[in-house]
Amino acid sequence: MTSTVPNAVQHADEQQPPITMFGPDFPYAYDDFLAHPAGLGQIPATEHGTEVAVIGGGLSGIVAAYELMKMGLKPVVYEADQIGGRLRTVGFDGPNTEGLTAEMGAMRFPPSSTALQHYIDLVGLETQPFPNPLAEATPSTVVDLKGESHYAETIDDLPQVYRDVAEAWNKCLEEGADFSDMNRAMRERDVPRIREIWAKLVEKLDNQTFYGFLCDSEAFKSFRHREIFGQVGFGTGGWDTDFPNSILEILRVVYTEADDHHRGIVGGSQQLPLRLWEREPEKIVHWAYGTSLAKLHENGAPRPAVTRLHRTAGNRITVTDANGDIRTYQAAIFTAQSWMLLSKIACDDSLFPIDHWTAIERTHYMESSKLFVPVDRPFWLDKDEETGRDVMSMTLTDRMTRGTYLLDDGPDKPAVICLSYTWCDDSLKWLPLSASERMEVMLKSLGEIYPKVDIRKHIIGNPVTVSWENEPYFMGAFKANLPGHYRYQRRLFTHFMQDRLDEDKRGIFLAGDDISWTAGWAEGAVQTALNAVWGVMHHFGGATDATNPGPGDVYDEIAPVELPE
């Protein structure tokens, strides 16, 4: 982690291999798989041109569709809302707001997301540092708790208690979760060691909450330390809304540095799926050079929302969409939020084994809200005459706003403020309020922290806001497993290994970040899309090149830990 809390082990040695999202649950090198010249595999020529349904046009669906197209299949993408899913970038409506954007969903990506990075590079997008609390790219940070504010450029500027908390977290991770051992094993891609450490921890900690894990640690005996940690936390800041979640979820985040060194996508993250949709791959089987997903779809657009999914004769998956169109497929990939299968889409029980239905039903999603305003310029960099400090800073607080992010685009140019980004209960507090009501409450909170700053006079357009739990095709922001959910997550993640399922349960493949081990990060969407692509390839009798084994080929050697049922 860059910021509020330094890593349990500071790695001065630059020679060390980097941390990537390699395990701990399924230590497969998706990045090497993608980079290999042999490609992701081949299907028999007799299957070329066969349609495969891809339900959900978020990053996972678009990646899966793109790779299936390259193999010579014909993906048919269904999207209820917009291409991009939770990679959703919007503009503002004021006169001088042209070119300004707000990231309603994914806005910051850790460099450990190396499979994601493959696609960012492929479509030629640039990234830039994201101004998280105390990050290098962040001029200053204010931590405001219990009505007391502290201004800091680095953690050393904060009162001693914050360093004590940081140290307690490091100790707690070391004692309770073998942090430095796992860190080394992940850097070295030492699969047996990763599996050995993780197997013990999964068994020991699947029933434990994040908060319980802190309480069990000698290092966090102090309630006050736990409270401060909850508010300013690690990585990007306060994670106390995750206290009831499984500690395994948090360990995945810290081991993989998912919350560290974040970068944003210049021009907006939605460009990634949109560019993949239009992209004409240089290497493509069966289809003419110049084919793209857009060109394979009528009017260049995905099909509308899926309303019904059922099995029909010959083990086919039959998809009904909002236009009443009914099509039957040999294979389908489902990438939307799993709860859609319970409510928005009429489903046959026979689509999945009963244990997989349980896992879908128990999936726990976090709520999340954001609100952005466009402003005339990055006025926060003005100096306070008395103190010489920035007049306003990236702000972490226990007030309603929780996190405020300042997003400038160069001096004197119009800029954007994310007045508030919240999760869980903190998000639900915003739910009944309109955008302007939300903004009023946020300006009041920030007014208490910055009494000398008139934020309002800089605002040049209407606020834009989202509560993902209120979006009909999402019902939440990202999955976060509760204690006891390990088995459920394992079933969902391993669903692409369909030789293990009864024959009449095959042909539909789950993917998307909620199927992944690291929900809330786009890397999980990409990794599970690649699993599903492997599954579909295998389903059609295809295979990978022997020099580039896919996730299903090496599954037995690296399978996720199994807990007794």
Chain residues in the site for ligand ARG (CB under 6 A): 108, 236, 239, 242, 366, 423, 478, 480, 520-521
Residue 250 Cβ, how far from ligand ARG at the closest point, in Å?
8
Decide whether 245 or 307 has the Cβ nearer to ligand ARG.
Answer: 245
Instruction: Find the angle CA(46)-CA(50)-CA(54) to the nearest 5 degrees.
Output: 145
Q: Which of 460, 456, 441, 454 is nearest to 382 (CA)?
A: 454
DSSP 8-state symbol, 60 = H
Residue 402: CB minimum distance to ligand ARG, A: 11
- Name which of 86 and 438 has its Cβ closer to ligand ARG: 86
Min dist CB 483 to ligand ARG, Å, is: 14
Tokens for 369? 């809200």
- The answer to whether residues 438 and 371 touch, using CB atoms and an 8 Å cutoff, is yes
Q: Can you read off the two tokens belonging to residue 370?
A: 């954001």
Interatomic CA distance for residues 402 and 232, integer angstroms: 10
Q: At what angle do helices 223-232 and 160-177 cross, to 10 degrees?
A: 90
- Residue 355's contacts (CB-CB under 8 Å, 6 or more residues apart) are 491
**Considering beta carbons, is residue 263 or 538 the nearer one to ligand ARG?**
263
Tokens 């291409």 belong to which residue? 83
CB 344 within 8 A of CB 305: yes
Cβ-based nearer residue to ligand ARG, 236 or 404: 236
Q: Whose Cβ is closer to ligand ARG: residue 414's or residue 524's?
A: 524
**Beta carbon of residue 235, minimum distance to ligand ARG (angstroms, whole number):** 8
The Cα–Cα gap between 534 and 497 comes to 9
Among the listed residues 474, 477, 467, 475, the one whose alpha carbon sits nearest the alpha carbon of residue 434: 467
Least distance (Å) between residue 101 CB and ligand ARG: 17
Tell me how far CA of residue 179 lies from CA of 184, 242, 393, in angstroms: 9, 20, 32
Residue 244 CB, nearest distance to ligand ARG (Å)?
Answer: 11
Name the residue nearer to ligand ARG (CB basis): 86 or 539: 86
Instruction: Pull the structure tokens for residue 489.
Output: 């997550």
Nearer to ligand ARG, 101 or 113 (CB): 113
Q: Which is nearer to ligand ARG, 58 or 535 (CB)?
A: 58
Nearest residue to 360 (alpha-carbon basis) of 504, 486, 491: 491
Residue carrying structure tokens 């706003």: 401
Find the Cα–Cα–Cα–Cα dihedral 420, 421, 422, 427, rounded to 10°. Answer: 70
Longest alpha-carbon distance in the chain: 77
- Return d(Cα 106, Cα 474) in angstroms, integer: 14
CB-wise, 281 or 524, nearer to ligand ARG? 524
Coil, helix or strand at residue 509? strand
Shortest approach of ligand ARG to residue 242 CB, angstroms? Answer: 5
Of 133 and 535, which CB lies nearer to ligand ARG in the complex structure?
A: 133
Q: Least distance (Å) from ligand ARG to the CB of residue 170?
A: 20
Q: How far is the CB of 13 from ligand ARG (least distance, A)?
A: 27
Q: Which residue is nearest to ligand ARG (CB)?
A: 520
3-state DSSP assignment of residue 400: coil
What are the residues whose beta carbons fall under 8 Å from the beta carbon of 425, sequence distance 6 or more? 241, 367
Q: How far is the CB of 488 from ligand ARG (least distance, A)?
A: 16
Length of the chain in terms of residues written: 565
Looking at beta carbons only, is 5 or 536 nearer to ligand ARG? 5
Query: Quick one: 89 or 97, whose CB is closer to ligand ARG?
Result: 89
Q: How many CA atoms lie within 13 A of 363 on its CB side?
A: 32
Least CB distance to ligand ARG at residue 2 (A): 13
Strand 365-366 to 51-55 pairing = unpaired
CB of residue 217 to ligand ARG, shortest distance in Å: 20
Buried b (16+ CB within 10 A) or exposed e, 519-530: bbbbbbbbbbbb
Which two structure tokens, joined as six digits, stand for 87?
Answer: 């990679």
